[in-house]
Structure 1
Amino acid sequence: MFGTSGIRGEFGTDVTAGLALDVGRAVASEDNERVVVGRDPRESGPVLVDALTAGLRECGADVVRLGEVPTPTVARAIEWYDADAGVVVTASHNPPEDNGLKLWSADGSAVVGNEQASIAGRLEREAFDLQPWDRLGGVESISEARHRHADAVADAVTVDPPLEVVLDVGNGSGRLTETALRKLGCAVETMNATPDGTFPSRPSEPTAENCRQLGNVVAGTEADLGVAHDGDADRMLAVTESGRWVSGDVLLALFARREARPGDQVAVPIDTSMAVRDELEALGATTTFTKVGDGHVADRATDDGVVFGGEPSGAWIWPSLSRCPDGPLAAAKLAALVADHGSFDALVDDVHTVPIRRENVETESKRDVVEYVRAQVADRYESVTNVDGVRVDKDDGWFLVRASGTQPLVRITAEARDADRMASLFSTASELVDNAVGSVGASAGAA
């Protein structure tokens, strides 16, 4: 039920009001007496929030409703409003027909591990502590959280000199980034800033393809950079002053080397480019690898010596400030970095990149496909890692095959110092996946 980022799927089939009701019941039954709730702009959000709230109250929890706000606002609000947990109704970067529920712990980090397993167990057993009529939880609505979040970002960052920034909200919840950047003295031009859960301007996921308009706008103005969010504004990706798209791996390298000192560690998922490790090794710092998913990165970021955590997908975590990926904070941090160095293009050019390729294969049998690949490579390669999916390491590169935690996809990644070698490794991984898809499909048909 739980993927790398909570529960997510198509509304009305995978994700229903009944499921939201039970999630609320399960969260409250875990001794969470006060729970913060928010949502992104998706059309199905209000229905799910109502059901979630009913389930929480039914099991005695008081609910603090924030309305439509970014995911990181909910995570921060747990502490602000003396809550024990938080739930966001969001499908993040997924298409508009999807929705989901993401759960947050008392410390503002995503629910993972044993805590997640306990809630999942309650859902499976329907083990809910329903309360009598005179012990139901209460509900209150708070409208100030968005402004409080913007103030917190502005208090944590200095942008000197102030910059000109183009912000592509993507019709999601991230418009408070404009407020935060303006508080920091920046001039901000917004794009697609009206919340609309159908995402009419561009798909919710901020990719190079989806953010071409942002690059064109930045290149045609005097702006110093452009930033883009996904639907719930936990992700932030960017373009340079020339309109050049910056990969998540390069952004991760830039953030990591700004934060790390000799002996420090940076938490990154297993699909991260070697370029990040190279940048850190030059500083005397190191990477520590996790499963894919910001919850796993945040969990590792609490370890001693870990000063930063990030994912190439655009999730950035400064553990001393917040344990949730915070798109508005990341936008401000990036603006500060560019202001300090004078040119975003120059910063990007200074990162030595390594040839890497990522692609997805759509399949409803994603976990069976990965298991099939796992069996195929077990005796074929000396270095096989099963931390998350199947990773094969060679002396000059690696490839990874893993099931998406949020969509019906198998994700393939390959990287090597040499472009031809990378292409060869990617071809090998793709062939393994194609064979697995065919075999799994044939087995299903025979059954």
Structure 2
Amino acid sequence: MFGTSGIRGPVGEEVTAALSLRVGRALGAETDRVVVGRDPRESGALLVDSLAAGIRELGTDVVDIGVAATPTVARAVAWENADAGVSVTASHNPPEDNGLKLWQPSGQAYDAEGRERITARIEADEPELRPWNELGEREIADAAERHVDTLVSGSEATLNLDVAVDLGNGAGRVSVDALVETGCHVETVNAQPDGRFPGRPSEPTSENCEALATLVAEGEYDLGVTHDGDADRMRAVAGNGTFLSGDALLALFAADAAEPGERVAVPVDTSLAVEDYLAERDIGVTRTPVGDVYVAAAATEPDVAFGGEPSGAWIWPDETLCPDGALAALRVAEMAAEEPLESRLAALPSYPIRRANVEVERKRDVMASVETGVLDDYDDVSTLDGVRVETERGWFLIRASGTQPLIRVTAEAREEADAKKLLAEARELVESAR
């Protein structure tokens, strides 16, 4: 039921008011106070109502902060002295989807144990409903202002930048307010919250954000910033209009956040260029399964100063364990004020990376066969998330898609010919296991 990003799927099929009610009842059974909020999708209003009803039926109070960025919801759990939080969002998914993501007071998403516990309560379906005079209360609150104040108070710099911000019709207004409060001159794109995402698709990829890159390139801007629908992700555009790859932004953030001798947490599909760039600065890398919940878990270790995913989720554990797109927007602006991003990019290595998808009918069986073969034939193998093989030439990763009947193959090397060979090698392993 729960993936690493919570429950997510088409509204009216996988995600319904009935399911939201059951999640609320399960959560209400083990909490006294819960923060809820949602992204701009219209279906979110229905899901929040049913979620809140389920929570309150168990005698637990609800703090409803309305339409809010997911990191605002996650941070508000501690601010409101609550036991848990729920973001009703499908993040970067299309408008027909919605979902629910659960948060702990630390700002960390529910881990595997927590998700399994809630799932067990839902499947048992034995809620101890309270009588009419013991129902929980529903309080309406606004946490956005506190989020902005927290971000601004944590920034020592007075910025004087011209910044274009593409909110993607999502819930990321906190970023705009925080940038303005720190002295930036901000122009917004797709700023009207609209869960249909009419301005562009919600996921902030280079393809979806071409208009922002063009605006920055042709205008007098120092920086471009963009979010997904719930503003947990943040991607950036340099002043010359270059849309930074996720790996490039990860390397820059990590080098800025970590001191020599410290580590950063990154998923298994992160570019070798990130590791090489950080190694030059005596910063180590800890690899995790793909998913911000795993990166956040690794970021709790004492010598891990930063965690990030190339998809756009960035975690500063000294601030919060949730990916906070608004915090990332402020941090990238601070970096751009010290040295233009286009100049920083010049110092980053860039290696050829190749990807392919192989359609399969039985993903688990194929992956089991691939793992057996790889362990027999290669020495440096990680099965942390899929199968990752390190060689002298580079690496390849074979992972099953979480949502489609596909095996995804990625290969990277320092030389083009080696990247092609590694991809062919990895693909042959999958084809042989079909």
Question: Is this a same-fold pair by TM over 0.5?
Answer: yes
Structure 1: unaligned runs, 5 residues or longer: 440-447
How far residue 426 of structure 1 moved from its aligned partner, in angstroms, is 2.3
Query: In structure 2, what is the equivalent of residue 402 of structure 1?
Result: 399
Counterpart residue identity of residue 194, structure 1: Q
Q: Is residue 12 of structure 1 aligned with residue 12 of structure 2?
A: yes
Q: Name whichever of 113-122 and 54-63 sits farther off.
A: 113-122
Code of the residue aligned with 1:82 in structure 2: it is N
CA separation in 1, counterparts of 2:406 and 2:393?
27
State the match for 2:426 in structure 1.
429
Paired residues of 1:84 and 1:105 also in contact (CA < 8 A)? yes
Any idea what SS the aligned residue of 1:379 has?
helix
Q: C-alpha separation between the residues in 1 aligned to 2:69 and 2:359?
A: 29
Secondary structure of the residue aligned to 1:237 is strand
Alignment equivalent of 1:382, drawn from 374, 379, 384: 379
- Structure 2 counterpart of 1:216, which letter? T
For residues 250-302 of structure 1, give each alpha carbon's deviation from its aligned partner in whole angstroms, at most 9, with x where no partner exists.
Answer: 11100111111121111111111122211221122201111111111111111
Contact 1:235 1:314 in 2 (8 A): yes
Letter in 1 for 2:263: Q
Structure 1 residue 236 displacement after superposition: 0.4
The DSSP-based 3-state class of the residue aligned with 1:246 is coil
The CA RMSD over aligned residues, in Å, is 2.0
Letter in structure 1 aligned against 2:299: A
Q: Which residue of 1 aligns with 2:274?
A: 276
Structural mapping, 1:34-433, within 5 Å: 34-143=33-142, 145-341=143-339, 343-358=340-355, 367=364, 369-405=366-402, 410-433=407-430
Kindly indicate whether the alpha-carbon contact (under 8 Å) linking 1:160 and 1:339 is maintained by their aligned counterparts in 2.
no
* Change in 2 beyond 3 A, CA 1:278/1:129: farther
Check 1:234–1:123 CA distance in 2 against 1; reply closer, same or farther (3 A cut).
same
Paired residues of 1:34 and 1:64 also in contact (CA < 8 A):
yes
The 1:270/1:367 distance shift into structure 2, 3 A limit, reads: same
What amino acid sits opposite 1:23 in the alignment?
V
SS of 1:283's equivalent in the other structure is coil
Deviations 1:83-128 (A, max 9, x none): 1100001111111111111010121111112222211222222243
Q: Deviations over 1:424-446 (max 9, x none)?
A: 2223334555666xx4xxxxxxx
2-side partners of 1:359 and 1:191: how far apart?
34
8 Å CA contact retained: 1:9, 1:407: no
Q: Which residue of 2 aligns with 1:444?
A: none
SS of equivalent to 1:86: strand
Say if 2:56 and 2:136, in contact at 8 Å, map to a contact too: yes
- 1:296-342 Cα deviation digits (max 9, x unpaired): 1111111111111111110001111111000011000000001011x
Q: Give distance in 2, aligned partners of 1:428 and 1:53.
A: 51
Please give the TM-score of this superposition, normalised by the length of structure 2: 0.95
Tell me the TM-score normalised to structure 1 length: 0.92
Quickly say closer, same or farther: Cα 1:134–1:403, change in 2 above 3 A: farther
Deviation at 1:55, TM superposition (A): 1.1
Q: 1:364 to 1:197 in 2, by over 3 A?
A: farther
1:11 Cα offset (Å): 1.3
**Cα–Cα, structure 1 residues 333 and 415, in superposed 2: closer, same or farther, change >3 Å?**
same
Provide the rounded CA distance (Å) in 2 between the counterparts of 1:308 and 1:127.
41
Paired residues in the alignment total: 434
Compute the displacement of 1:406 (Å): 6.2
Kept in 2: contact 1:89–1:101 (CA 8 A): yes
In the TM superposition, residue 358 of structure 1 has moved relative to its aligned partner by 4.4
Helix, strand or coil at the partner of 1:413: strand
Which amino acid is 1:337 matched to?
M
Distance 1:234 1:363 in 2: 32
Q: What is the CA–CA distance in structure 2 between the aligned matches of 1:364 and 1:175, rounded to whole Å? A: 43
Q: Deviations over 1:113-147 (max 9, x none)?
A: 2222211222222243332332221101113x112
SS in structure 1 of the partner of residue 396 of structure 2 = strand
Distance 1:305 1:208 in 2: 33
Say if 1:84 and 1:434 are closer, same or farther in 2 by CA, change over 3 A.
Answer: same
The 8 Å contact of residues 158 and 336 in structure 1, kept in 2 or not, is answered as no
Q: Distance in 1 between matches of 2:308 and 2:89?
A: 20
Mind listing any 5+ residue stretches in structure 2 that lack a counterpart? none
Q: Distance in 2 between matches of 1:330 and 1:358?
A: 28
Give per-residue Cα distances to partners, 1:347-380, cap 9 Å, x unaligned.
1111112222345567786555544543553434
Q: Is the 8 A contact 2:261 2:282 kept in 1?
A: yes
Task: Give the distance between the partners of 2:273 and 2:126, measured in 1 at CA.
Answer: 47
Deviation of the 1:417 alpha carbon: 1.2
* Whole-angstrom distance in 2 between the partners of 1:21 and 1:373: 41
